[in-house]
Amino acid sequence: MPESEVNPLAPARLATPPRSTDLGRLDAGVWSATAHRADDGELVIGGVRASALLAEHGSPLYVVDEQDVRERAAAAVADFAAALAAIGAEVELHYASKALLTIDIARWMQEAGLGLDVASAGELEVALAAGIDPARIGLHGNSKPDALLRRAVTAGVGTIIVDSQQEVERLAAVAAEAGRTQPVLVRINSGIHAATHSYLATSHEDQKFGLTFDEARAAIARIREVDGLELAGLHSHIGSSIHDAAGFGAAADRLMRFRAELLAGGPVPEVNLGGGFGIAYLPSDDATPLAELARGIAAEVERACRETGTDLPRLTFEPGRSLVGTGGTTLYTVGTTKTVHVPVDGGTAERRYISVDGGMSDNARPALYEADYCARLANRDSDAAPALARVVGSHCESGDVVVDADWLPADTAPGDLLAVPGTGAYCFSLSNHYNYFERPAVVAVRDGASRTLVRRVTIHDLLALDTAWAGEEH
């Protein structure tokens, strides 16, 4: 019988308490490539100890394993190239920068052979500041202001992904004004109901993105006749954090068949199938390897083109989470621990609340999408018995949860350090200053050294934005 009692509050995936010796385990596939434990049990990432990172950069902290991200990006390029070469098609990857964007990370992606997908004026400016080749930038957005369209067109952005018929007219006017012919992709709402959280699904009927096939027919006819625009192809993104390959295959099939119809009226050189490839956040998650997903999609593309008697288009994909998610880890300091007794099944069960010095301001995903994460002690080993824990932030909300459920050593105490893996994607980018919390710095670690990519946003920085602030310290 395991050391700890089975806890009725534990979700099925955590039903069996682990042995104490397993509480420090860093599961492959969940933790970044260089994460390991030093002999004394402390967590080390990129050759740097967790305690050293917090001492130098403050707590909480976003830690990016540079080697992991660079290798994962290069592997993705190779995996998709191999899968599409096998059917005789060209392919290009654009990093979905919304997942995690800094100037350095944009450059790492370009160095790995990727272009960049941006979805706002801010992301575009960061990409241009990083020296990303504008021709390898794709601009997204369901409601792009004219100023953004103008900036993108004059900056020479390679592709603008059109998301409405209204945008066709506005963009044509902007391109004509700039004296440029702007290549565009038309985003298709393919009607695929992606297997993911409803807020992350982007191609079913009742949501804001894309044009239906009928609307796209009209938009493409207009694009082909109007000056200033050139139809580069079609785009589809079915959603994010998806593990089921079927959705990607179905979207590829629908877009290839639609393309076959459109080829009667002119060239459709490119089909961009977006991103959305899920990662493992928990040891129990079973993420499909990118190479396997790429092969599955390539097979659908090949079959649909063969059946419609059409040539293969150039394919583009926009992975985000799958390139940076696992490479990021958040380090926190434990502030308070508390055991609550919850009435259950006519008795009570214990849950340990472990409060850390961050929360929904640095990781909004649990609150937004009920996303699950796991956690491990980062500053030491422990042979204490496992306790069912909930890691929570220190914001003024019960929904301020970082890790809904995991087994942590019962002796986890104030001052301990906790690490949460898989926070490389959609954590920094969704961060906020709720309760006037500072935004943690983003540091890259590699070969025993750390460097700040984005410095902490301090209370002082926030105060400096307040026009009534006189600037004096109190």
Ligand X SMILES: Cc1ncc(COP(=O)(O)O)c(C=O)c1O
Q: Whose CA is closest to 187, among 205, 161, 155, 153? A: 161
Rounded to 5°, angle at Cα 80 from 77 and 86: 135
Contact 80, 289 (CB under 8 A): no
Helix or strand holding residue 420 (H, E): strand 417-421
Question: Which residue is associated with the tokens 């004509």?
Answer: 176
Q: Does 99 bind ligand X (CB under 6 A)?
A: yes
Q: Does 276 bind ligand X (CB under 6 A)?
A: yes
Helix or strand holding residue 418 (H, E): strand 417-421
Report the residue number, 25 or 193, with the smaller CB distance to ligand X. Answer: 193
Among 31, 108, 258, 277, binds ligand X (CB under 6 A): 277
What x/- string results for residues 221 through 240 when contact with ligand X is judged by CB under 6 A?
----------------x--x
Cα-trace Rg, the chain: 24
Tell me the C-alpha to C-alpha distance, in Å, between residue 379 and each of 31, 53, 83, 382, 397.
16, 11, 42, 10, 27
Among 49, 70, 72, 140, binds ligand X (CB under 6 A): 140
**Least separation, in Å, of the C-beta of 213 and ligand X?**
18
Whole-angstrom distance, CA of residue 389 vs CA of residue 402: 11
Whole-angstrom distance, CA of residue 331 vs CA of residue 346: 38
Q: Does 72 bind ligand X (CB under 6 A)?
A: no
Q: Residue 153 in 3-state DSSP?
A: helix
What x/- string results for residues 289 through 318 when contact with ligand X is judged by CB under 6 A?
-----------------------------x
Enumerate the β-bridge partners of residue 229: 182
Enumerate the β-bridge partners of residue 63: 329, 443
Among 158, 320, 359, 409, binds ligand X (CB under 6 A): 320
CA dihedral angle for residue 401, residue 403, residue 409, residue 414, rounded to 10 degrees: -40
**Least separation, in Å, of the C-beta of 108 and ligand X?**
16
Tokens of 1: 């019988």
Report the residue number, 194 or 402, with the smaller CB distance to ligand X. Answer: 194
Catalytic residue among 305, 374, 396, 427: 396
Q: Does 365 bind ligand X (CB under 6 A)?
A: no
Report the residue number, 24 or 141, with the smaller CB distance to ligand X. Answer: 141
Report the residue number, 276 or 409, with the smaller CB distance to ligand X. Answer: 276
Q: Does 357 bind ligand X (CB under 6 A)?
A: no
Size of the site for ligand X (CB under 6 A): 18
Q: Does 321 bind ligand X (CB under 6 A)?
A: yes
Contact 231, 239 (CB under 8 A): no
Report the residue number, 295 or 365, with the smaller CB distance to ligand X. Answer: 365
Neighbours of 284 (CB within 10 A): 14
Tokens of 382: 């422990």
Q: Whose CA is closest to 318, among 239, 208, 200? A: 239
Report the residue number, 57 or 140, with the smaller CB distance to ligand X. Answer: 140
Neighbours of 332 (CB within 10 A): 29
What x/- string results for residues 425 through 464 when contact with ligand X is judged by CB under 6 A?
x---------------------------------------
Q: How many residues does the chain have?
A: 474
Report the residue number, 229 or 293, with the smaller CB distance to ligand X. Answer: 293
Indicate if 396 belongs to the active site: yes
Q: Does 144 bind ligand X (CB under 6 A)?
A: no
Q: Does 60 bind ligand X (CB under 6 A)?
A: no
Q: Does 117 bind ligand X (CB under 6 A)?
A: yes
Contact 275, 322 (CB under 8 A): yes
Report the residue number, 279 or 301, with the smaller CB distance to ligand X. Answer: 279
What x/- string results for residues 391 through 430 when contact with ligand X is judged by CB under 6 A?
----------------------------------x-----
**Least separation, in Å, of the C-beta of 240 and ligand X?**
3
**Least separation, in Å, of the C-beta of 99 and ligand X?**
5
Among 17, 115, 210, 275, binds ligand X (CB under 6 A): 275
As annotated, the active-site residues are: 396
Binding region for ligand X (CB under 6 A): 96, 98-99, 117, 140, 237, 240-241, 274-277, 318-322, 425
